[in-house]
Amino acid sequence: MTPKPLRRFIALGHTLGWMEDASLPFLQAALGPAAIEISDKAICINANLDAKKLEALLEHAAIKMRDAGWISGWRKERYTVFASDAAGNLDLAQPLFELERAAFRRFGLTSRAVHINGYTTKGELWIAQRASNKAIDPNKLDNLAAGGISAGENVWDCVIRELAEEAGIPAQLASQAVSSGSLRTTRPEADGWHDEIIYTYDLQLPDDFVPKNTDGEVAGFQRHSFEQIEAILPRMTLDATVVTQAFLEQQARR
């Protein structure tokens, strides 16, 4: 995909994201042109707004984008927008406001997610196939479980929830998942700028355990040896590909 010109999105004194020009008219309609300062490099909301007022105005702009067909897959699920510095580093101790998750890319906001690799003692990985009705990447292959961290949810609770919902893994087994680090993925997408911090976990599953989806978001599961994974990477989501490659590299170093 050819990258579109982006400007830094600045509000409440923080550099929050990256915006395409296509989103600007919706923002101007919600806030009024006088409230927005535009330069070659940035779109800055200079109105004297508090976080709650800004949240309401951005939500209004997002709804207008949705109604105009610029945002699809409206989830009625909210993500937290955190304070960040000029380099885009989040301050997780400083939540600013919440916004519909489907709107995050249009404003280039940083989302957070968990991805869990499920493996066996025989050197195999469990791979999920996303359901055909998923708003993003339908039918693509994915990690055992993966999902966004909702507003008010911590990372660990998200891990336990996603393992239960997507793979039918009971809490006692899910609690054995081990953190393997974090990574950040950024790229242009059809619906804006994708910027996500992914917390990765590894979970060793019993050899006779078979994952079973419970929330309708996964069509099924496949089990592949580590050696076979390379061949299916082109069929995986971009984020799952990065997570899986990192897992295989870690395994190779052991």
Domain count, the chain: 2
Q: Which of 108, 127, 149 is the last residue of a domain?
A: 108
- Reference 197, options 234, 239, 164; nearest CA is 239
Same domain for 247 and 130, yes or no, is yes
Alpha-carbon dihedral 98, 184, 27, 70, rounded to 10 degrees: -100
Q: What is the token pair recorded at 182?
A: 């974090």
Give the position of tokens 């993500």: 79
Same-domain check for residues 104 and 161: no
Same domain, 75 and 133: no
Q: Which uninterrupted H or E stretch holds 27?
A: helix 24-31
Q: Are residue 104 and residue 117 in the same domain, yes or no?
A: no
Residue with tokens 């929330």: 215
* Residue 126 domain flag: yes
Say whether 220 sits in a helix, a strand or coil: strand
**Does the residue 1 lie in any domain?**
no
Q: Which of 51, 77, 108 delimits the end of a domain? A: 108
Write down the pLDDT at residue 11. Answer: 96
Same domain, 120 and 170: yes
Q: What is the pLDDT of residues 73-111, one digit of tens each?
A: 899 999 999 998 877 789 999 999 999 999 999 999 999
Q: How many residues does the chain have?
A: 254
- Mark whether 133 and 209 lie in a shared domain: yes
What's the pTM value of the predicted model, to 2 decimals? 0.95
CATH number for 139: 3.90.79.10
Q: Does 164 share its domain with 54?
A: no
Q: Residue 246 sits in which domain range? A: 112-253
pLDDT for 235 equals 98
> pLDDT grade, residue 3 (50/70/90)?
low
* Contact call for residues 205 and 126 (beta carbons, < 8 A): yes
pLDDT bucket at 135, cuts 50 / 70 / 90: confident
Per-residue confidence (pLDDT) for residue 245, from 0 to 100 = 98
Of 86, 108, 130, the residue that ends a domain is: 108
Q: Report yes or no: 245 and 237 within 8 Å, Cβ to Cβ.
A: no
Question: Among positive and negative, which fits the CA dihedral 58, 199, 193, 86?
Answer: positive
Q: How many CB atoms lie within 10 A of CB 55?
A: 17
- Give percent of the chain above pLDDT 70: 99
Is residue 61 in a domain?
yes
- DSSP character for 159? H
Q: Any idea what the CATH number is for the domain that residue 68 is in?
A: 3.30.750.160
* 247 and 128 both lie in a single domain: yes
